[in-house]
Amino acid sequence: MREILRVDMSTLQVTREPLPEKWARYGGRALTSAIVYSEVPAGADPLGPENKLVIAPGLLGGTSAPNGGRLSVGAKSPLTGGIKEANSGGTAAHALGKMGIAAIIIEGAPADKTALYALRLFPDGTVDVVRRHDLAGLGAYETVAVAKGIEASEHRMSDKSSFLVIGPSGEMKMKSAGIAVTDPLGHPNRYAGRGGLGAVMGSKGLKLIAIFEEGLKPKQHADKDAFIAAVRKFSGALTTHAVTSQALPTFGTNVLANIINEAGGYPTRNFSSGQFEGVDGISGETMREITVERGGNVKHGCHTGCVIQCSRYYVDEDGHYMTKGPEYESAWSLGANCGIDDMDMVAKLDRKCGEIGIDTIEAGVMLGVYMASGEIAFGDGEAALKALDEIGRGTELGKVLGDGAEATGVKFGVKNIPVVKHQGLPAYDPRPIQGIGVTYATSTMGADHTAGYTITSNVLAVGGTVDPLKPEGQAALSQGLQIATAMLDAMGLCIFVAFAVLDMPEALEAIHEMAAAHTGDDWDVDALMQLGKETLAYERIFNEHAGFTAADDRLPAFFLEEKLPPHDVVFTVTDEELDSVYSFVPEVAEQLGIE
């Protein structure tokens, strides 16, 4: 029996309740979005007591499903003003799954606005909320170190506990604040970063969630033998496909830097060009060379049970841990988008973002906008570090920068601000990669590449090919991928399994076979896609109630008007095609009985 753990921060009371039968097939993003839709008024202040922070493992969380340990965090977003699910690796999802917790709902807010608390979950089922003013103002790494009673410099913290923490940006309720989740070695470097959910956690007076899992056993399956067979089938696909078995493990997600740069879609200096002349300095290949030379870790999973292992640790010249090997998005946002071609500087900026607790994508897009204003120069890494320090200190300037790219652009009069639904665009320019532009424009989450990763067919020839420079077929491609991605998020599966799923029919079969064997319910491909559609229906209708219209499903005008070198193209997918992406929602909403 899966349960909901409800934490009222107004009274510091914790209660348990069974997961409603109507949501029995939901996990991860499906569950966070259904709860936010059902329990949070669409007009609520995102930083007020009516908003709720929902934390949920996927349906396969707590099992041995390969790459099934992703965590969903949901709420009404302070950044976008709409619904938000931020997705993270780390060890928390499996720990919650083993405890039988389908979701934690954190609601209300302390009457004392200065109060700071830790929520603690123990293996015997005990849960408490304790005051922790000693953690006030601490960065994410120091917070975890103090909470565990050890020095921050110690490499191996523990693999028997999981932590979710916010940095000072979350305490100060900045709109780019994220929630750090500890990885298998205890480093708080996996982020539920997008949409400002760290600010929501801060508004609840919550600095830390500690999940102690010593002695917990994996969840039981309805049919153990069938589950094991499906796991082997799925793992076989992931360890066979060229992207998930070779490219990602060898070079990490940043293997894409040279690929996207060559395709002319690598946003450079605030989206003013599609190619960066300094890409080699921040590429996945260069990162690997530096890491190997310095004796760093070049391959591991960001969460327990990962068979792809595209994560790595970046180390300094003395071989000491600095940060996670900056992911493709982070290396781009803090590198090319800022005109910075020094991998060490990118790593310093990544670590600084991690300490103060802000989303690296939003931070890099903000810095690009700030540089475009002329306040600091493109390529000036030291000035970028100082700007991030302003955020950590909460200065007047820091509060503007900490609220993200749009707030910064408005403050400093920048013409081209690359945001959709107030959220910064990730590392693919939508002009030469038109499909991702459809996803950016229409996603319920604001600009979000993971919502419908059309790079698969637009650039990598995975799951077929769709010409990235032409509008034809882009809306349908994005729609299908948005539905499939919502399903993967609900299952708790890493988005990178999609490479194998799109090319290998047995990989998709294995997902519904794992779900059926684990739950005892009937699952097939149609059921998987229905799960994705239902998730998106909750999100789309919540946003409509919050005041979103078709006008919000559009890219900034400069993407339609200013040609991007080297292809000299603009975004040409029509408004009618954009409006078709969610054409399935009315029918699904009627099936769910929601409106």
- The string of DSSP letters for 396-457 reads HHHHHHTT-HHHHHHHTT-S---EETTEE--SS-TTTSHHHHHHHHH-TTSS-GGGS-THHH
Residue 76's φ and ψ, nearest 5 degrees, are: -80, 130
User: Which residues contact residue 320 at a Cβ distance below 8 angstroms, ignoring those fewer than 6 apart?
Assistant: none
Q: Is the peptide bond before 468 cis (omega within 30 degrees of 0)?
A: no
Are the C-beta atoms of residues 45 and 550 closer than 8 Å to each other? no
> Looking at domain 3-212, what is its CATH homologous superfamily?
Aldehyde ferredoxin oxidoreductase, N-terminal domain (3.60.9.10)
Q: How far is CA 20 from CA 3, 522, 548, in A?
A: 9, 18, 29
> Tokens in use for 380?
């000036």
Predicted confidence pLDDT, tens digits, the chain (595 residues): 899 999 999 999 999 999 999 999 999 999 999 999 999 999 999 999 999 999 999 999 999 999 999 999 999 999 999 999 999 999 999 999 999 999 999 999 999 999 999 999 999 999 999 999 999 999 999 999 998 875 444 444 445 899 999 999 999 999 999 999 999 999 999 999 999 999 999 999 999 999 998 888 889 999 999 999 999 999 999 999 999 999 999 999 999 999 999 999 999 999 999 999 999 999 999 999 999 999 988 889 998 889 999 999 999 999 999 999 999 999 999 999 999 999 999 999 999 999 999 999 999 999 999 999 999 999 999 999 999 999 999 999 999 999 999 999 999 999 999 999 999 999 999 999 999 999 999 999 999 999 999 999 999 999 999 999 999 999 999 999 999 999 999 999 999 999 999 999 999 999 999 999 999 999 999 999 999 999 999 999 999 999 999 999 999 999 999 999 999 999 999 999 999 999 999 999 999 999 9
Q: How far is CA 201 from CA 55, 163, 361, 403, in A?
A: 11, 13, 19, 16
Are the C-beta atoms of residues 516 and 229 closer than 8 Å to each other? no
> Tokens in use for 396?
């007047």
Q: For 69-205, where are the alpha helices, taking DSSP H only?
A: 92-98, 140-148, 168-171, 197-203
Are the C-beta atoms of residues 157 and 148 closer than 8 Å to each other? yes
CATH 3.40.640.10, domain 430-503+524-595, yes or no: no
Domain extents in the chain: 3-212, 253-426, 430-503+524-595
What pLDDT sits at residue 151?
47
Give the span between the Cα atoms of 7 and 22, in whole angstroms: 22
Are the C-beta atoms of residues 303 and 89 closer than 8 Å to each other? yes
- Output Rg (C-alpha) for the chain, integer angstroms: 22
Cα first-last separation, the chain:
29
> Tokens in use for 56?
């949920």
What pLDDT sits at residue 132?
95
Check residue 5 and report its DSSP letter: E
* Angle at which helices 343-356 and 381-393 cross, to 10°: 0
Class of domain 253-426: mainly alpha
Least Cα distance to 344 among 326, 371, 363, 367 occurs for 326
Give the span between the Cα atoms of 586 and 245, in whole angstroms: 40
What pLDDT sits at residue 214?
86
What pLDDT sits at residue 152?
44
Give the span between the Cα atoms of 6 and 413, in whole angstroms: 44
What pLDDT sits at residue 395?
98
In this prediction the pTM is 0.97
User: Which residues contact residue 38 at a Cβ distance below 8 angstroms, ignoring those fewer than 6 apart?
Assistant: none
Residue 327's φ and ψ, nearest 5 degrees, are: -65, 170
Maximum alpha-carbon separation in the chain: 62
194, 96, 53, 166 alpha-carbon torsion, rounded to 10°:
-60
